């Protein structure tokens, strides 16, 4: 049995960011993930908006972590060459009742420390976004931005590996016991010893607590979000993220560009019992498209590339569910519902604060693969080995990089998140055969096999 200072259960955005920070503080970390790759749970499918926290509940840990996560991302993204598109967002009022709520949203935003907000009238909205249907005004949030939802977290894990961490993929924590000093975790890959446990198991967070602590302090209630992805020409219709006036349950249906050059509409907010499979439904997708067409009429002529869905690890309450039991060397970071991609670095700071210690090690720069459409993509340079996926202009060199190094892709989903291959308008129709050839014998789960 190998012994570590900290075992982190779950390599979603929270686990990956926490592994980096704890490793930089000198802890010997093991990151244990039951999926074939990192980010294979809730974190694989989100809207990729880096939120300012303008509409977060004031005075909460969620707000604190979002603000801290946002700041740290800006500080460190240069080290890794990570993208940020400063689109800004508008919370658009479509009815008079919604327009009347905008000043109170402005006040909450200011209370939350976001001090560059302003109200736009109907003409101001139209001037900024001429393709938008006539509105009743908007709250402008210049700091809301979009990022690549996957590459930062791969970078964080690579940093953790640089600083002595280990990553166990395809390894599920199935049980464990604490002897007063050390945890002995039972996993499908054998026992793992650690002084501290961080439960970052997302949609399984309550079950992991119940299994290891004997009781769960919250109940996961998966909340599905379905999306429609429009083809690249649609992204020219809109510069700014369009947010609805939020309600109690959800931030509502958003229209946003992606850094990959598409236009995204979604997510829905639907309760479901299944924690693994977010099924797509025709009715919901058609409703999203109808809503998008009401907001941006010209979108009607735009082709759709893909649809997808994700599951938020929501719980019976709105707030993040942190359980810190110092005497049992245990921290749960649970219920990280709909803001976790933004808050992850802030949550990692919070976890280090609870365990104790400071960042003592210097993080080295590590240029990461550039997936952003407007970035300095590999295909623009010579010596890339030829283009394999023509829709997303993914080169053989990029695929080779993704299959090598300290944390290679082990399945097609991981390869997609590292390169975007097969994610364009043909959805792999033209390139999947070639990708199967290139990856033959190199993936733990071959292309075409069940996961």
Ligand X SMILES: Cc1cc2nc3c(=O)[nH]c(=O)nc-3n(C[C@H](O)[C@H](O)[C@H](O)COP(=O)(O)OP(=O)(O)OC[C@H]3O[C@@H](n4cnc5c(N)ncnc54)[C@H](O)[C@@H]3O)c2cc1C
Q: Give 200 or 391: the residue with its C-beta nearer to ligand X.
A: 200
Out of 6, 7, 8, 13, the residue judged to bind ligand X by CB under 6 A: 13
Out of 8, 42, 63, 415, the residue judged to bind ligand X by CB under 6 A: 42
Among positions 180-239, residues that touch ligand X (CB under 6 A) are 200-204, 208, 225
Q: Give 15 or 137: the residue with its C-beta nearer to ligand X.
A: 15
Q: Give 14 or 389: the residue with its C-beta nearer to ligand X.
A: 14
**Residues with Cβ within 8 Å of residue 52, at least 6 apart in sequence:** 66, 67, 70, 109, 114, 141, 143, 144
Residue 141 bridge partners (DSSP): 89
300: three-class secondary structure by DSSP: helix
Out of 7, 9, 106, 120, the residue judged to bind ligand X by CB under 6 A: 9
Q: CA 352 → CA 26, 196, 199, 333, 364, distances in Å?
A: 11, 11, 14, 12, 20
89-92 and 254-257 strand pairing:
unpaired
Distance of closest approach, residue 390 Cβ to ligand X, in angstroms: 28
Q: Give 31 or 355: the residue with its C-beta nearer to ligand X.
A: 31
Q: Give 49 or 295: the residue with its C-beta nearer to ligand X.
A: 49
| Binding region for ligand X (CB under 6 A) out of 39-47, 238-246, 288-296, 388-396 | 39-47
* 137-176 footprint of ligand X as x/- string (CB under 6 A): -----------------------------------xx---
Distance of closest approach, residue 120 Cβ to ligand X, in angstroms: 22
Round to whole Å and give the CA distance between 227 and 331.
33
Q: Which of 438, 51, 1 is nearest to 194 (CA)?
A: 1
* 74-113 footprint of ligand X as x/- string (CB under 6 A): ----------------------------------------
Distance of closest approach, residue 133 Cβ to ligand X, in angstroms: 23
Q: Give 41 or 244: the residue with its C-beta nearer to ligand X.
A: 41
Distance of closest approach, residue 317 Cβ to ligand X, in angstroms: 15
Out of 7, 15, 198, 402, the residue judged to bind ligand X by CB under 6 A: 15
Q: In this structure, are residues 222 and 275 in contact, taking their beta carbons and an 8 Å threshold?
A: yes
Among positions 259-318, residues that touch ligand X (CB under 6 A) are 267, 310-313
Distance of closest approach, residue 380 Cβ to ligand X, in angstroms: 28
Distance of closest approach, residue 168 Cβ to ligand X, in angstroms: 8
Is 41 among the residues that bind ligand X (CB under 6 A)?
yes
The first and second tokens of residue 388, run together, are 């394999």
Distance of closest approach, residue 335 Cβ to ligand X, in angstroms: 8
In the chain, how many H helices and how many E strands?
A: 11, 21
Round to whole Å and give the CA distance between 265 and 228.
5
Is 253 among the residues that bind ligand X (CB under 6 A)?
no
Total residues interacting with ligand X, rule: CB under 6 A: 42
Helices (H), 332-421: 340-355, 396-402, 412-419
Q: Give 355 or 438: the residue with its C-beta nearer to ligand X.
A: 355
Q: Give 265 or 389: the residue with its C-beta nearer to ligand X.
A: 265
Q: In this structure, are residues 291 and 279 in contact, taking their beta carbons and an 8 Å threshold?
A: no
Q: In this structure, are residues 32 and 187 in contact, taking their beta carbons and an 8 Å threshold?
A: yes
Q: Which own/partner contact pairs does 406-411 have at CB distance under 8 Å and 24+ positions apart?
A: 406/158, 406/161, 407/38, 407/154, 407/157, 407/158, 407/161, 407/167, 408/442, 409/37, 409/443, 410/36, 410/37, 410/169, 410/170, 410/443, 410/444, 410/445, 411/36, 411/37, 411/443, 411/444, 411/445, 411/451
Residue 331 bridge partners (DSSP): 198, 324
44: three-class secondary structure by DSSP: helix
Round to whole Å and give the CA distance between 213 and 6.
17
Is 11 among the residues that bind ligand X (CB under 6 A)?
yes
Q: Kindly tell me the sign of the dihedral angle through the C-alpha atoms of 49, 54, 57, 61.
A: positive
Out of 19, 29, 48, 410, the residue judged to bind ligand X by CB under 6 A: 48
Distance of closest approach, residue 428 Cβ to ligand X, in angstroms: 22
Is 33 among the residues that bind ligand X (CB under 6 A)?
yes
Distance of closest approach, residue 194 Cβ to ligand X, in angstroms: 13
Q: Which residues bind ligand X (CB under 6 A)?
A: 9-15, 32-35, 40-43, 45-49, 51, 172-173, 200-204, 208, 225, 267, 310-313, 336-342
């Amino acid at each position: 049995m190998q012994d570590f200072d900290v075992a982190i259960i779950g390599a979603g955005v929270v686990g990956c960011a926490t592994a980096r920070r704890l490793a930089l503080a000198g802890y010997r970390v093991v990151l244990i993930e039951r999926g074939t790759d990192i980010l294979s749970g809730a974190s694989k499918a989100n809207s990729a908006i880096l939120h300012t926290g303008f509409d977060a509940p004031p005075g909460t840990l969620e707000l604190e972590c979002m603000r801290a996560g946002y700041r740290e991302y800006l500080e460190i993204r240069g080290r890794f060459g990570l993208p940020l598109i400063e689109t800004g967002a508008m919370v658009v009022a479509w009815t008079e009742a919604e327009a009347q709520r905008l000043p109170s949203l402005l006040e909450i935003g200011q209370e939350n420390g976001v001090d560059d907000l302003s109200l736009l009238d109907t003409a101001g909205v139209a001037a900024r976004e001429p393709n938008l249907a006539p509105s009743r005004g908007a709250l402008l949030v210049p700091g809301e931005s979009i990022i690549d939802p996957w590459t930062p977290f791969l970078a964080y894990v690579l940093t953790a590996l640089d600083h002595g961490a280990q990553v166990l993929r395809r390894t599920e924590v199935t049980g464990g016991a604490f002897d007063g000093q050390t945890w002995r975790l039972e996993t499908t890959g054998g026992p793992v010893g650690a002084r501290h446990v961080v439960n970052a198991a997302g949609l399984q967070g309550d079950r992991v607590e119940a299994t290891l602590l004997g009781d769960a302090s919250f109940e996961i209630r998966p909340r599905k979000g379905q999306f429609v992805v429009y083809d690249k020409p649609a992204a020219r219709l809109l510069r700014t993220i369009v947010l609805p006036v939020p309600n109690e349950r959800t931030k509502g249906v958003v229209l946003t560009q992606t850094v990959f050059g598409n236009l995204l509409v979604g997510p829905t907010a639907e309760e479901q019992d299944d924690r693994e499979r977010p099924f797509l439904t025709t009715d919901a997708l058609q409703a999203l498209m109808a809503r998008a067409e009401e907001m941006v009429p010209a979108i009607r002529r735009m082709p759709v590339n893909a649809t997808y869905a994700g599951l938020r690890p929501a719980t019976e309450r709105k707030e993040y569910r942190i359980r810190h039991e110092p005497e049992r060397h245990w921290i749960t970071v649970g219920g990280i519902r709909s803001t976790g991609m933004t808050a992850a670095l802030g949550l990692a700071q919070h976890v280090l604060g609870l365990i104790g210690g400071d960042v003592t090690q210097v993080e080295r720069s590590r240029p990461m693969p550039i997936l952003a459409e407007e970035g300095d993509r590999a295909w623009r340079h010579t010596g890339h080995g030829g283009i394999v996926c023509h829709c997303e202009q993914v080169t053989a060199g990029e695929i080779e990089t993704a299959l090598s190094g300290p944390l290679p892709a082990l399945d097609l989903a991981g390869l997609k998140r590292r390169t975007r291959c097969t994610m364009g308008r043909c959805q792999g129709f033209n390139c999947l055969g070639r990708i199967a050839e290139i990856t033959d014998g190199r993936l733990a789960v071959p292309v075409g096999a069940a996961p």
